[in-house]
Structure 1
Amino acid sequence: MKKLLIILHDLGAGGAEKMMARLAGALVDAGNDVTLLLLTGGGLHAANLDPRVKKVELQSQRTARAVPALARFLRANRFDAQLAALTHVNVVAIAAAVLSGTLARLHVSERNAFSHDKHVNPDFMVRVAYLVAPLLYRLIPNPVICVSRGVAQDLVDTTLARRQDVTIADNPVLDNDFRDKSPGPPSHRWLLEKTGSVIVAVGRLVPQKGFDTLISAFAALPDSDARLIIFGEGPLRAQLLDQARTLGVADRFDLPGYTCEPLAEVAAADCFVLSSRFEGSPNALVEALSTGTPVVATRCPHGPQDILIGGLVAPLVPVDDPIALSQAVALQLSTPRDLQRHSRLDAATRFMNASAVQTYLAALLGSPSS
């Protein structure tokens, strides 16, 4: 049994937070003693954390101010490996590891396309973290764990990081028995009592997710009875609703907010769409594949091409091209639902907990065994 530590800012509603909570539980399943340390504390996904995972909250007011407390914790508690997630947390963890003398055991991870993600958060300290992180990645003893080949290549191509400074580990997105589990009934009324085709998307309402392109593509569909549901919350809610009204599809479009059971909603839909402008390894796409529901995705940097095997599993369309997206969705809606269902399920299998956790153990410990 190895003693492992995961360092995160909190367990908020983001995909990285969800995956780190899942990874903690999967590492316990693999026979390890796991602690999840939150630099601040709380968050939506705290309720879903495996009770066998030890949780520590430093309650720092800001992530950047957590360095002294984290250094004290690392000095007082010896772990076989320490894993930090997200760029600004990585920088804090590196500083604390240096102060505590534990840098040799620290591993950091990048969850998104670095060259795109660095422009998203305007916070000054986050911007500073993105500036200094590539230099630190070149200097630290362990390679940066990236969630996809594309994320790793992007880091090498656009920063000081070298190929030897990166490695890859898959997200633990799915339960090991996902093929045998029913996702349960959906909650949305359009999915409970369907009167026509229903298209579903899931994600934060932010520019990265390209939901404005999706709404334009939806408005261009020849099927005037189709409906579109986007599950998620974010700052673009009012803008997206205004766009739907302008395009005359407001009565067939809904933003019901965050859903705790996205698989149930996607499983009942006729098509799932990932319209993102960039990603790391989109977990929502993997979850959609696991339901067998037909999917369409943009060929965005850097996850869909890998997950969908270059378009063999499901259609890939150019980013910010509503006409191409509309045509691909229309094709999926007119194709028998079960066509390529097994291919979609097979593509999702790689991201089962048991499979993915071995890639992390190999990266953290140098061996796929615990």
Structure 2
Amino acid sequence: MVRKRKLIFAINSLNGGGAERVISNLGNYFYKRGFDVTMVCLNEAKPAYFLEQGIKVISLIDQKRNEKFFYRLWYGGVTFFKLLYLLIKEKPSCVVSFMTSANLWIGLTCNILNTPYLVSERITPDYTVNQFNYFLRWLSAAMYSKSKAIVVPSKGMIDGFKKNKSFSGLSNFEVINNPVSQFIPARLERVYPRKFILSVGRLDRQKGFDLLIQAFEKLQISDLDLLISGEGDERVNLENQIKELNLSDRVKLIGYQKNLQDYYRQAELFVLSSRNEGYPNVLVEAMSLGCACVATDCEFGPSDIIENEMNGLLVKANSTKYLYEAIKRTMSDPVLKIKMSVNAQLINQTNSLENTFAKWEKLILNHI
């Protein structure tokens, strides 16, 4: 197949995570549609998710980043010039970037070369651009305003941006919800010997796993364990918390799992305990596989996905008490649990890959 149109997708890395899964699936979709697709990572480029064999993966800088001033200066210069050279060489029809750092670098280089680009933010701006100093807020707003679109996964994120004066006048926002991830069929063999509650995500304070562990400790159901899948900087703190609560036998940090479909299928309940989100992929994944779900009503995303009492339970964010009560209620009410499980699977229609990526395709084709 002759691939005439070139697309570049850019992100910090392709390690496991919600944004990484979406951009990987997006690249696969456009490759299958006949595009020449390149994945560009600012840092290491080891893909955690499947990519079609013909997709090129390029890492701008392989070594691990540190926070020393001269290293950051060197890192910025190398990133800028390598990215500029790559865009000149590849001459893409359009560039799509995910996450704030990649968005800024793509905005700077694409504006110099007059290359069309789209940026996408995946988490609440209160943890990204709204925390920047004046210069970086101004720079971000300038780069985002010149993009063909600012794609966000939930409507609430637009308000989050616009409460920042630098972004209040921007009108190029587009809402495209995250799609249901495509998994291989779940296995019949048990992935864990006991009944378990499941939570999935980066081990970061944002995800509220410390709150979930506290809520689980109050639950005191002896034949039920808690499994948390993911990796991140909070691992040591969570391990210490588990030891202090004497839960080492029943709360397990199981790391990144490639066969999450098996865990979703076999879990008694999925819990999203986040303090904030953009649009939680893991919640969509769990629901698509028929797992009853409890989620915090945080900014942003869960309220766009869950209709309370119908396809899941929404609870007040940052509250161990409400999280505990919702988990206990679900585990003690099999009728409610079954209703939520059945209704949850309707997300396979509303958030299908076909519907979601057709919106991306239309958006991109309008600008190339």
**CA apart distance, 1:170:** 2.4
State the identity %: 27
Aligned AA (1:72) = Y
Within 1, Cα distance between the matches of 2:220 and 2:44? 47
What residue is the counterpart of 2:46 in the other structure? 43
Question: Does the aligned pair in 1 maintain the 2:145–2:170 contact within 8 Å?
Answer: no
Residues 231, 41 of structure 1: alpha-carbon distance in 2 compared, 3 angstrom cutoff: closer
What residue is the counterpart of 1:300 in the other structure? 298
Within 1, Cα distance between the matches of 2:142 and 2:250? 49
Give the TM-score normalised by the residue count of structure 1: 0.86
What residue is the counterpart of 1:4 in the other structure? 7
Q: What is the DSSP-based 3-state SS (H/G/I as helix, E as strand, rest coil) of the residue aligned with 1:339? A: helix
Residue 106 of structure 1, aligned match among 117, 129, 142: 117
What residue is the counterpart of 2:360 in the other structure? 360
Q: How does 1:1-370 map to 2 (within 5 A)?
A: 2-45=5-48, 48-59=50-61, 62=75, 65-102=78-115, 105-118=116-129, 131-137=137-143, 139-161=145-167, 162=169, 164-175=171-182, 182-185=185-188, 188=191, 191=192, 193-194=193-194, 197-309=195-307, 312-336=310-334, 337-366=337-366
Note the residue ranges of structure 1 that are not aligned, 5 or more in a row.
121-125
**CA apart distance, 1:91:** 0.8
Q: What is the DSSP-based 3-state SS (H/G/I as helix, E as strand, rest coil) of the residue aligned with 1:297? A: strand
Question: Does the aligned pair in 2 maintain the 1:40–1:63 contact within 8 Å?
Answer: no
Q: What is the DSSP-based 3-state SS (H/G/I as helix, E as strand, rest coil) of the residue aligned with 1:220? A: helix
**CA apart distance, 1:127:** 7.2
**CA apart distance, 1:290:** 1.2
**CA apart distance, 1:238:** 2.4
Within 2, Cα distance between the matches of 1:145 and 1:84? 10
Q: What is the DSSP-based 3-state SS (H/G/I as helix, E as strand, rest coil) of the residue aligned with 1:316? A: strand
Residues 171, 66 of structure 1: alpha-carbon distance in 2 compared, 3 angstrom cutoff: same
**CA apart distance, 1:141:** 4.6
Within 2, Cα distance between the matches of 1:129 and 1:19? 30
What residue is the counterpart of 1:123 in the other structure? none
Residues 167, 59 of structure 1: alpha-carbon distance in 2 compared, 3 angstrom cutoff: same
Question: Does the aligned pair in 2 maintain the 1:91–1:129 contact within 8 Å?
Answer: no
Q: Over the residues paired in the alignment, what is the CA RMSD in angstroms?
A: 2.6
Residues 59, 313 of structure 1: alpha-carbon distance in 2 compared, 3 angstrom cutoff: same
The higher relative CO (CA closer than 8 Å, separation ≥ 6) is in: 1
Aligned AA (2:365) = L
Residues 322, 333 of structure 1: alpha-carbon distance in 2 compared, 3 angstrom cutoff: same
Give the TM-score normalised by the residue count of structure 2: 0.86
Aligned AA (2:50) = N
Note the residue ranges of structure 2 that are not aligned, 5 or more in a row.
64-74
**CA apart distance, 1:90:** 0.9
Residues 78, 13 of structure 1: alpha-carbon distance in 2 compared, 3 angstrom cutoff: same
Q: What is the DSSP-based 3-state SS (H/G/I as helix, E as strand, rest coil) of the residue aligned with 2:222? A: coil
Within 2, Cα distance between the matches of 1:311 and 1:66? 48
Question: Does the aligned pair in 2 maintain the 1:205–1:211 contact within 8 Å?
Answer: yes
CA-to-aligned-CA distance 1:259-316 (integer Å, 9 cap, x gap) = 1121211211100100000011111111100110111000010011101135542100
Within 1, Cα distance between the matches of 2:199 and 2:130? 24
Aligned AA (2:206) = Q
Aligned AA (2:40) = L
Question: Does the aligned pair in 1 maintain the 2:308–2:314 contact within 8 Å?
Answer: yes
Question: Does the aligned pair in 1 maintain the 2:296–2:317 contact within 8 Å?
Answer: yes
What residue is the counterpart of 2:68 in the other structure? none
Aligned AA (2:325) = Q
CA-to-aligned-CA distance 1:95-130 (integer Å, 9 cap, x gap) = 11122222xx1111111101134589xxxxx97995
